[in-house]
Chains A and B, each alone.
Chain A
Amino acid sequence: MSDVKNFFYVNRRAPYGTIYALESLEVVLIGAAFEQDVSLAFLDDGVFQLAKGQETKDIGMKNFSPTYKALGDYDVNKIYVEKESLEARGLTVDDLLPLTYEDADDDYAEKNSIKVVTAAELAQLMDQADVVLSF
């Protein structure tokens, strides 16, 4: 395997209406085994993927939102949520799943994986990526 690359996964779509949210999460989990530098971005309607309280029994589809909570265990802990996208949708970070990870460099202290960033900050982060996967 060659150098470690900065993989940037961009999520812009709501969950359940289409499969992109679920299948992109599957890429992230498989990709975690390759020990690259992984960041996830949620912007536009993608922020809805992280909404708390998803109950899918009545639509007859599997609720895959618990899988986001496992991301920390896969060393995926750079999860950027765009501020403007939240605000445009009347959401705050308190409406989102509490995603955390255990920081091995800090005595396994539990920390927040979600970082709310502005569009301008997200643009800079995107520019630094080596590989961008858009779903």
Chain B
Amino acid sequence: MTMLHTVNKSPLDRNALESAITHATKGSAVLMIEDGIYGAMKGTIKSAMVTNAMKDVSFYVMGPDLKARGIDASRVIDGVKIVDYSGFVDLVAEHKSSQSWL
């Protein structure tokens, strides 16, 4: 079983997403929550960081946090799955442990 990495800060604000991706082993998952959802947006200078990692790591983003910030699903990088709190709970249950990159 692999680890779930949660990231709650924008990649343009902190290095948390970059650090999480660097330390995410093959088969693990990264979930972007709170201000971390900006890491899931297409067309930013940080988008490639996520797309390049997708071959090894599964990416998820919190739908409620996207909506709160007015970021439409159409702006989410292709391949990043949108989940709700129920999905967040499932991700925690399905992975061996969770690490929060704050």
User: What residues make up the interface of A, taking CB atoms closer than 8 Å to B?
Assistant: 10, 12, 43-44, 119, 122-124, 126-127, 129-132, 134-135
Residue among B19, B24, B97, B100 making CB contact with A44, cutoff 8 Å = B19
Do residues A127 and B2 form an inter-chain contact, with CB atoms below 8 A?
yes
Interface of A: prevailing SS: mixed
Given contacts A123-B24, A124-B25, A134-B102, whether A129 and B19 have CB atoms under 8 Å apart is no
| B97 partner residues in chain A, CB cutoff 8 A | 129-132
Contact A123 B99 (CB under 8 A): no
The verdict on B28 contacting chain A, using a C-beta distance below 8 Å, is: yes
Interface residues on B, range: 10 to 19
The answer, yes or no, to whether B44 is at the interface (CB within 8 Å) is no
| Contacts between the two chains (Cβ within 8 Å), count | 39
Indicate which residue in B3, B15, B100, B102 contacts A126 across the interface (CB closer than 8 Å): B3
Which residues of B are interface residues toward A (Cβ below 8 A)? 2-3, 15, 19, 22-25, 28, 96-102
- CB atoms of A12 and B100 under 8 A apart: no
- With a cutoff of 8 Å between Cβ atoms, the chain B residues found around residue A119 in the complex are 22-23
Hey, which chain A residues are within 8 Å of B98, CB to CB?
132
Q: What 8 A-B pairs are tightest by C-beta distance, nearest first?
A: A123-B23, A132-B99, A134-B100, A127-B25, A123-B25, A119-B22, A132-B97, A127-B3
Report yes or no: A12 in contact with B19, Cβ–Cβ below 8 A: yes
Chain A residues with Cβ under 8 A from B102's Cβ?
A: 12, 134-135
Given A126-B3, A127-B3, check contact A43 B100 (CB 8 Å): no
